[in-house]
C-alpha cells in the first residue's frame, strides 16, 4: 500500500468544491456475534447509515460534492427524479432545505400504492419542502424525458437550474466513495486488519468509487457489488468503468 497514493488522492479531493453535510468518518464496526455464528473470517460493517443527514445514507457523501458544484454554477433550483421511495431524494430534499435550494422531484411509482400513499421517504421529502410530481408509470426513459422537459421549462422562465448526476458530473458521486475507500483503508490500518473483500449493496457510483479508491491505494481489497435492480450486468459494469475513469481523470490519477 502506497502512502504517497493516499496523499495524492486526498490532495486531489481537497481541491474540489465541497459543502459539509455529513458526519465523517463513519464507524467501522466489528460484527463479533455474526462472525462467530457464521464461523468464518471476521466481518466488519461500514456504518454509512450514520452520515447524519435526514437519517443518513450513502448519498450524503455524494451531495457534498454535487450541490457544491450546483452552488459554484450559481444554481437556485434543483430538478431530479427517481423512485417514489428513493433514499437519494430523501437526502437530497434535506440537503436542499439546509442550503436554500428549491427542489423539484419527478418521481416514478414502483407500486400502485405509491401514487396515493404519502409515507416513508415520500412523506419526508415533502416535509423538507420538495415540490413533488408523481408520474403515472414506472418507466425510467419516460421519466428522464419529463425531467429534461421540466428543467428546460424552468430555464425558459429564467430560473437557474441544476440537474444532479448528469453525464458530465456523475463522477463527483464516484469521487465521494473513492474518499470513503480512503477512510476505510485508514480505519482498517488503525484496527490492525487487512480485509480481502468489501461488499456493497449499492452498485453504480458507490461501487465505482470504492473500486477506484481501493485500486489506486493498492489496498488488496476486492470490491463486490450486489444490486436488487435487474438488467444486463455487462452494461452496468461498462457504465461503472466509464464513471471510474472519468473520476480518475478529474482527480488526475493515473489509472
Q: For residues 201 and 57, is the Cβ–Cβ distance under 8 A?
A: no
Q: Which residues pair with 249 in a beta bridge?
A: none
Alpha helix (H) ranges present in the chain? 3-14, 32-38, 59-72, 87-99, 120-127, 140-156, 171-191, 204-216, 233-251
Residues β-bridged to residue 44 = 30
Rg (CA), the chain: 19
What secondary structure letter does DSSP report for 40?
A: S
Q: Per the residue annotation, which of 11, 32, 66, 86 is the catalytic one?
A: 86
What span, in angstroms and rounded, lies between the C-alpha atoms of 132 and 82? Answer: 11
Question: 228 with 202: CB under 8 angstroms?
Answer: no
CA distance 195 to 214: 11
86 among known catalytic residues: yes
For the beta carbon of residue 13, count every other beta carbon within 10 angstroms. 18
129 sits in the region (left: phi over 0; alpha: psi -120 to 50; else beta) called: left
CB 61 within 8 A of CB 178: no
| Catalytic (active-site) positions | 86
Amino acid at each position: 500500500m502506497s502512502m504517497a497514493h493516499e496523499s495524492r488522492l486526498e490532495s486531489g479531493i481537497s481541491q474540489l468544491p465541497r459543502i459539509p453535510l455529513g458526519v465523517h468518518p463513519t464507524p467501522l464496526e466489528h460484527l463479533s456475534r455474526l462472525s462467530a455464528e457464521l464461523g468464518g473470517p471476521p466481518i466488519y460493517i461500514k456504518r454509512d447509515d450514520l452520515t447524519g443527514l435526514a437519517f443518513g445514507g450513502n448519498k450524503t457523501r455524494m451531495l457534498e460534492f454535487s450541490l457544491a458544484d450546483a452552488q459554484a454554477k450559481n444554481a437556485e433550483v434543483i430538478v431530479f427524479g427517481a423512485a417514489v421511495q428513493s433514499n437519494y431524494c430523501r437526502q437530497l430534499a434535506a440537503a436542499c432545505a439546509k442550503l436554500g435550494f428549491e427542489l423539484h422531484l419527478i418521481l416514478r411509482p414502483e407500486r400502485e400504492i405509491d401514487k396515493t400513499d404519502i409515507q416513508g421517504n415520500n412523506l419526508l421529502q415533502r416535509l423538507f419542502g420538495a415540490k413533488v410530481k408523481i408520474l403515472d408509470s414506472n418507466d425510467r426513459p419516460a421519466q428522464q424525458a419529463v425531467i429534461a422537459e421540466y428543467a428546460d421549462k424552468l430555464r425558459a422562465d429564467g430560473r437557474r437550474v441544476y440537474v444532479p448526476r448528469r453525464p458530465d458530473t456523475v463522477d463527483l458521486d464516484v469521487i465521494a466513495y473513492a474518499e470513503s475507500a480512503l477512510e476505510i483503508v485508514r480505519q482498517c490500518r488503525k484496527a490492525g486488519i487487512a480485509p480481502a473483500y468489501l461488499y456493497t449493496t449499492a452498485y453504480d457510483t458507490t461501487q465505482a468509487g470504492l473500486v477506484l479508491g481501493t485500486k489506486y491505494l493498492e489496498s488488496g481489497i476486492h470490491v463486490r457489488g450486489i444490486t436488487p435492480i435487474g438488467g444486463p450486468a455487462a452494461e452496468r459494469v461498462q457504465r461503472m468503468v466509464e464513471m471510474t475513469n472519468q473520476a480518475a481523470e478529474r482527480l488526475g490519477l493515473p489509472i
